[in-house]
């Protein structure tokens, strides 16, 4: 057997409630996803702020080997206030 145990699922308004059997507990910070006919409940990853998420995405990117040409950015004209 794969360690599966039956659960009871009830409705609470617009939500479904999964009643876990004795001896089974879900982590406090959990996420759920559906893969085909399976529901998978697992611990959520570490909470990351926007800077950490950005750095994680940047770490997966390949360098860009492109030359950026000269940018024409003249100084503004003087203004008499």
pLDDT number for residue 43: 81
Q: Is residue 34 part of a domain?
A: yes
pTM of structure: 0.46
Give how many domains the chain has, as a whole number. Answer: 1
> pLDDT tens per residue, the chain (81 residues)?
477 888 999 999 999 999 999 888 888 778 888 999 988 888 877 766 778 888 888 999 999 899 989 999 999 999 998
Q: Is residue 37 part of a domain?
A: yes
pLDDT number for residue 12: 94
pLDDT number for residue 48: 65
Q: Is residue 32 part of a domain?
A: yes
State how far the Cα of 53 lies from the Cα of 50, in Å rounded to an integer.
5
Q: Is residue 48 part of a domain?
A: yes
Domain carrying residue 34? 27-60
Q: Is residue 8 part of a domain?
A: no
pLDDT number for residue 76: 93
Angle (nearest 5°) at CA 63 between 68 and 65 = 35
Q: Is residue 45 part of a domain?
A: yes
């Amino acid at each position: 057997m794969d360690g599966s145990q039956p659960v009871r699922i009830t409705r609470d308004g617009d939500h479904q409630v999964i009643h876990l059997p004795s001896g089974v507990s879900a982590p406090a910070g959990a996420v759920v996803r559906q893969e085909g006919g399976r529901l998978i409940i697992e611990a959520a990853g570490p909470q990351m702020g926007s800077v950490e998420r950005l750095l994680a995405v940047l770490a997966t990117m390949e360098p860009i080997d492109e030359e950026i040409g000269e940018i024409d950015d003249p100084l503004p004209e003087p203004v008499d206030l």
